[in-house]
């Protein structure tokens, strides 16, 4: 069940994961910078104030997060208030940074969608946000993923992560085509994908034509 404290903790946690204050998160989402201040969380007479669904939608969009991510933050057994300094300075690890054009080229990934070889550029990523091994980063190139992802944005990809409906995913076909889409439906025979850019049509691809599919777990924008 959602609670007032847990929802506000999740907002604070989302801000911390992007190295932002609560005010910085609000500003990034185009909201009044005071929207998430501590003083706004209860009224003068002690009544609880709740963030609007519109404001939550805006901060998720601004950080490239999903509703599932936000719910998971509320369900975490360790709330932000008990994380202490770890919340503001999460442990980071260097992960490979790969240009998106290379995702469609041969020889850069194994059959599971994990990068192979050495000599990649690297970026720092909080290890607490990665549930499994093999996390890497893809750098967006071009404008095909607008308006959600811009040229130069970095997508954090975890090939081994469980994929659910409406997750954002990277898909590579056996013909060498790589794409970022939203998973609408998956069966044993095919996957149905929705484009991030409304100017690009959705796709339905036979599973036999899929080389690998990996979930986007975060975006640095």
Q: Is residue 186 within 8 Å of residue 192, measured between CB atoms?
A: yes
Look at residues 17, 64, 214 and name the one whose alpha carbon lies nearest to residue 135. 214
Look at residues 151, 106, 154, 114 and name the one whose alpha carbon lies nearest to residue 133. 114
Q: What's 74's domain CATH number? A: 1.10.260.40
Q: Assess whether 72 and 96 both reside in one domain.
A: no
Cα distance between residue 94 and residue 126, in whole Å: 9
Look at residues 205, 135, 123 and name the one whose alpha carbon lies nearest to residue 171. 205
Look at residues 137, 171, 173 and name the one whose alpha carbon lies nearest to residue 155. 137
Q: What's 121's domain CATH number? A: 2.10.109.10
Q: Which two tokens stand for residue 80?
A: 């932000």
Q: How many residues make up the chain in this entry?
A: 221
pLDDT by position in tens, the chain (length 221): 467 888 888 888 888 887 788 888 888 899 988 888 888 888 878 888 888 888 998 999 888 888 877 877 765 544 444 333 334 445 567 788 888 777 766 666 776 677 776 657 877 776 555 555 578 888 888 888 888 888 888 888 888 788 999 899 999 999 988 889 999 999 999 999 999 888 888 999 999 999 989 999 888 75
Q: Assess whether 70 and 175 both reside in one domain.
A: no
Q: Is residue 48 within 8 Å of residue 38, measured between CB atoms?
A: no
Q: Assess whether 96 and 181 both reside in one domain.
A: yes
Domain ranges, residue 32: 4-88
Torsion sign across C-alpha atoms 107, 110, 113, 119: negative
Digit-coded pLDDT (tens) for 36-84: 888 888 887 888 888 888 899 899 988 888 887 787 776 554 444 433 3
Residue that is written with structure tokens 């910085």 in the block: 24
Helices of type H across the chain: 4-17, 22-28, 53-63, 67-75, 85-88, 100-103
């Amino acid at each position: 069940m959602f609670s007032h404290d847990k929802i506000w903790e999740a907002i604070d946690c989302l801000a911390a994961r992007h190295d932002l204050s609560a005010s910085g998160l609000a500003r990034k989402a185009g909201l009044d910078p005071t929207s998430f201040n501590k003083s706004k969380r209860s009224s003068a007479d002690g009544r609880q104030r709740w963030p609007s669904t519109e404001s939550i939608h805006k901060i998720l969009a601004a950080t490239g997060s999903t509703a599932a991510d936000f719910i998971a933050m509320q369900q975490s057994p360790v709330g932000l208030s008990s994380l202490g300094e770890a919340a503001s300075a999460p442990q980071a690890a260097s992960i490979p940074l790969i240009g998106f054009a290379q995702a469609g080229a041969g020889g850069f990934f194994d059959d599971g969608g994990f990068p192979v070889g050495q000599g990649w550029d690297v970026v720092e990523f909080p290890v607490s946000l990665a549930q499994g091994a093999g996390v890497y980063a893809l750098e967006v190139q071009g404008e095909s993923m607008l308006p959600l992802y811009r040229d130069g944005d970095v997508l954090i990809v975890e090939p081994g992560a469980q994929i659910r409906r409406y997750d954002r995913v990277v898909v590579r076909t056996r013909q060498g085509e790589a794409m970022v889409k939203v998973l609408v439906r998956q069966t044993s025979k095919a996957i149905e994908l929705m484009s991030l850019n409304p100017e690009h049509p959705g796709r339905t691809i036979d599973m036999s034509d899929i080389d690998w599919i990996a979930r986007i777990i975060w975006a640095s924008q």
